[in-house]
Amino acid sequence: MDVNNYTGLGRELLELLSGIGPHERSEWLIRLLRLAREATGASFVYLGETGREGVIRHGLIRDRLVRREEDKLLGLARVVVSRGAAVLEPELSRSGSFRAAADGWDGMEAAGYAAVPVPVPAPGRAWLGAVRDKSAPGFDPGTLARLELVATATATALTLEARCRELDDLAMTDGLTQIPNYRFLRIALDQEVARAARHEQLFSVVMVDVDNLKQYNHAHGHLVGSELLRNLAQVLKRETRGSDIVTRYGGDEFVLLLPKTDLAGAMTLCERLRQKVCDGLRGRGGEAVTASFGVAGFPADGRTFESLVSAADQALRQAKGDGRNQVVCLGA
């Protein structure tokens, strides 16, 4: 790229932004940092961000994305973030802001730098840094202008990524219970099948259904029935592990995905959940609420999404047929 070709740089940045999504940040970030490097003639470029994990830098070295974490802002990053303005030092000086340990990279001897803030919404803070070694051309005010253009595109990319992630989360969340929905379950269970098969591990799938919900809705109305489903979802979430996944399958049915849990462990958990529902949930009229559980295990009851959910559903139907308010595992 001709470093003076602003039109070409802008066109490439616009093309990059059209492909931003909620996943695989590394793909667009590599392209963006490569454009920043080509536009500035730098030896090394990076995107710095502050967040819950501290200070994170994603750098591009020989077209490979590298990551470095630090506890706090130091050196050049601190100056750029605190001032909210670009900083340019074509030739390093002892009185400058650059600190090799904080702003450079292992194995690189810096000779000059340019850095610009990335305009992201508060409380986020981000910046782009470009560093040259002695073999690279010197930086000038035009370097900052091109880097600022890339920084504007970077801010847009980060905003688009966040919005796409929000929409993706909404698409995988059940609106009534605010837990993951069928779409999420489909992806998570397929991934768990692949993981368990690769590591030769077990896991369990449980289908849960509120007993006599039709009669409950008839007595109190569907809005009250929806409230009962929300309450049941909270019981299931509260009483399972952080690694377990609780999803709404559809209607009044829920599916639990229990990684690294054999059938015996799943049965024990479900019996505890069944008792928690009996003890903790009451209907609008004070009536007892119960639920039935059907348990299936990988690989004994299936090796695919369809076969495992079908086995859990079959076990659930048996639990219903045998009198409800119980846990059934066909393989037990």
Specify if 87 maps to a domain. yes
Q: 28 falls in which pLDDT band (50, 70, 90)?
A: confident
Cα(212)–Cα(289) distance, rounded to whole angstroms?
9
Q: Which domain holds residue 96?
A: 6-168
- Asked if residue 173 is part of any domain, the answer here is no
Angstrom distance (rounded) from CA 106 to CA 88: 21
CB atoms within 10 A of CB 127: 27
CA atoms within 13 A on the CB side of 45: 25
Domain identity same for 134 and 10: yes
What confidence category does residue 6 fall into, taking pLDDT thresholds of 50, 70 and 90?
low
In this predicted structure, which of 88-97, 149-158, 186-195 has the lowest mean pLDDT? 88-97
Tell me how far apart the alpha carbons of residues 57 and 68 are, in angstroms, rounded to a whole number. 5
Task: Quote the pTM value.
Answer: 0.60
Which residue is associated with the tokens 């003076």?
Answer: 4
- Measure the CA–CA gap between 93 and 90, rounded to whole angstroms: 9
**Res 1 pLDDT > 60:** no
CATH of the domain at 308: 3.30.70.270
Cβ atoms 315, 309 nearer than 8 A: no
At 168, which helix (H) or strand (E)? helix 141-171
Greater pLDDT, 71 or 297: 297
pLDDT at 76 over 90: no
What is the mean predicted confidence (pLDDT) over 63-90?
Answer: 85
pLDDT band at 310 (very low <50, low <70, confident <90, very high): very high
303: amino acid identity, one letter: R
- Is the pLDDT at 252 greater than 60? The verdict is yes
Tell whether 159 and 200 lie within a shared domain: no
**235 and 293, same domain (yes or no):** yes
Angle ∠(127,149,129) on CA atoms, nearest 5: 30
Q: Per-residue confidence at 47, pLDDT binned at 50, 70, 90?
A: very high
* Res. 4: pLDDT tops 70: no
Q: What is the pLDDT of residues 198-248, one digit of tens each?
A: 999 999 999 999 999 999 999 999 999 999 999 999 999 999 999 999 999
Predicted pLDDT of residue 237:
95
* DSSP character at residue 98: -
Task: Answer yes or no: is pLDDT of 332 > 70.
Answer: no
Nearest CA among 103, 116, 58, 57 for reference residue 76? 103
Pairing of strands 327-329, 291-298: parallel
pLDDT category at 22 given cuts 50, 70, 90 is low
- Percentage with pLDDT > 90 across the chain: 50
Are residues 147 and 19 both part of a single domain? Answer: yes
- Inside any domain, residue 176: no
Tell me, rounded to whole angstroms, the distance of Cα 206 from its chain centroid: 24
**238 lies in a domain?**
yes
CA 166 to mean position of chain CA atoms: 10
Answer yes or no: is 318 within a domain: yes
Map tokens 């995107």 to a residue: 47
Task: Give 22's DSSP letter.
Answer: S
Q: How many domains does the chain have?
A: 2
What radius of gyration do the chain's Cα atoms show?
28
- Asked if residues 207 and 293 have their Cβ atoms less than 8 Å apart, the reply is yes
